[in-house]
Structure formats: C-alpha cells, structure tokens
C-alpha cells in the first residue's frame, strides 16, 4: 500500500495544465499568454482549469517552483567529485553545464519572472534558491590551500558567473543568425577559471 503509481484523473489534467502553461509562458511571456491558450493546449475547456487553479497567477507560481532547474543543478554541484580543487571545478563545471543544457527553457522562465513579476510578492526563483545555493560555498572553502587567497564568496560567484554566462551565451548563439560568434568549448572556460584562481602550480 505505498504511494499509488497511477495518478488520479484530476492530478493528470493538473499536470497537463502546468505543462501547457509552462511552454506558453516560456514562448510568449506571462501577460501575452491567455487562459484560453492554456486550456486549448492542455486539452480541456476554459472553465475546467478553475477546478484545479484559482487564478492565472497561481499557475505561474506553481510552474516556477516545479520547473526550477536547481532541483537538478544543486545536487549535482553538491556531489561533484574531486580530491583536488582542480578536479572538483572540472567536474562541477561540466556537470552544471550538462544539467542546464537539458533545460533550455530555464533562462526564458527566469527572465519572464524577472520581467513580469519583479517587485510583486511572488515566489521568486532567485530568492528561493539562494538559501539552497549558498551552502555550496563550502566546496570553495575547504581547498583554500591550493588557491591564491581569494575570498570564498568571490570564488563562488565568479565560478557561477563565468559558467552561467557560458551557458547563456551558448543559448543565445543558437538563436543567432549564422555563426557570427563561433561556439566555444567549455574546457577553455575551465582553463581560464583555474588559471585565474589557483596558486601558481602545474595544471593537468
């Protein structure tokens, strides 16, 4: 008598609504997406949605939480193996980019929230995730002896910033006409970061 493997009818359409809404929000933004579009895409009538969600905003709230990429990214960073700082960075960067790469919708979703809900009291992606992400800074403190005495927070922030920007530009380059900007390799970025923070010593 464990958790039922089969979802109830209600639960299934609830999921369908959220998935449809997620796609539309990512494609068009929040305000430009209508309840009718959501209903059509989810395959039910307009009024039926309101058996599962009280308002349009509540759908967005739940989508934000459910499709939060840190559900995948945080554990990956937390568990990235590596005896040395270098090994950790190489593994962590690769895993993080790989996980994010599976979620090309993430940036759009984050931007939609930033653009259309900033200032309103909504479950904020960044605010809700910072408490989760912050403990990861320990992984940048316990190998201090190999580094050039940079503050752990700066280490962490530059790590996230550099590789997030790699992910973001990679995403943007895909949507560019022609290859104005040649795609790069992640290894180059890892290389730059490691040379940037490690004490002068041999690198692999």
Residues near DNA, by CB under 7 A: 8-11, 13, 33-37, 44-48, 50-52, 54-57
Q: Shortest Cβ distance from residue 39 to a second copy (Å)?
A: 19
Q: Is the CB of 1 or the CB of 174 nearer to a second copy?
A: 174
Q: Is the CB of 55 or the CB of 144 nearer to DNA?
A: 55
* Nearest-angstrom CA–CA distance, 49 and 148: 56
Stretch that binds a second copy, among 35-43, 63-71, 85-93, 160-168 (CB under 8 A): 160-168
* Residues facing residue 147 across a β-bridge: 198
When CB distances are held under 5 to 8 angstroms depending on the partner's kind, the choice from DNA, a second copy, none that residue 98 binds is none
Q: Shortest Cβ distance from residue 98 to a second copy (Å)?
A: 18
When CB distances are held under 5 to 8 angstroms depending on the partner's kind, the choice from a second copy, DNA, none that residue 201 binds is none
When CB distances are held under 5 to 8 angstroms depending on the partner's kind, the choice from a second copy, DNA, none that residue 104 binds is none
Q: Shortest Cβ distance from residue 90 to a second copy (Å)?
A: 15
**Minimal CA–CA distance to 139: which of 80, 53, 60?**
80
Whole-angstrom CA distances from 154 to 50, 131, 142, 158 are 46, 17, 14, 6
* Nearest-angstrom CA–CA distance, 54 and 62: 12
When CB distances are held under 5 to 8 angstroms depending on the partner's kind, the choice from a second copy, DNA, none that residue 45 binds is DNA
Q: Is the CB of 29 or the CB of 152 nearer to DNA?
A: 29
101 is a site residue for a second copy (CB under 8 A): no
Give residues in contact with a second copy (CB under 8 A): 27-32, 108, 111-112, 114-116, 118-119, 126-127, 130-131, 134, 148, 150-151, 153-154, 157-158, 160-162, 164-166, 168-169, 172, 175-177, 180-182, 184, 188-189, 191-197, 200
């Amino acid at each position: 008598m464990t958790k039922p493997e089969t979802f109830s009818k209600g639960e299934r359409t609830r999921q369908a609504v959220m998935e449809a809404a997620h796609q539309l929000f990512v494609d068009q933004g929040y305000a430009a997406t209508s309840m009718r579009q959501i209903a059509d895409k989810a395959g039910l009538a307009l009024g039926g949605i309101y058996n599962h969600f009280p308002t349009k905003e509540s759908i967005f709230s739940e989508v934000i939480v459910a499709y939060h990429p840190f559900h995948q990214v945080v554990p990956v960073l937390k568990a990235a193996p590596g005896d040395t700082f270098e090994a950790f960075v190489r593994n962590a960067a690769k895993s993080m980019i790989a996980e994010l790469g599976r979620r090309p919708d993430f940036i759009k979703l984050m931007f939609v929230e930033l653009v259309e809900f900033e200032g309103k009291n909504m479950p904020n992606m960044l605010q809700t995730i910072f408490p989760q992400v912050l403990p990861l800074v320990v992984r940048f403190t316990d190998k201090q002896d190999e580094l050039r005495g940079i503050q752990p927070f700066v280490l962490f922030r530059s790590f996230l910033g550099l590789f997030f920007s790699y992910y973001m530009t990679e995403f943007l380059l895909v949507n560019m006409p022609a290859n104005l900007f040649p795609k790069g390799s992640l290894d180059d970025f890892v290389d730059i970061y490691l040379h940037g923070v490690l004490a002068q010593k041999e690198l692999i």
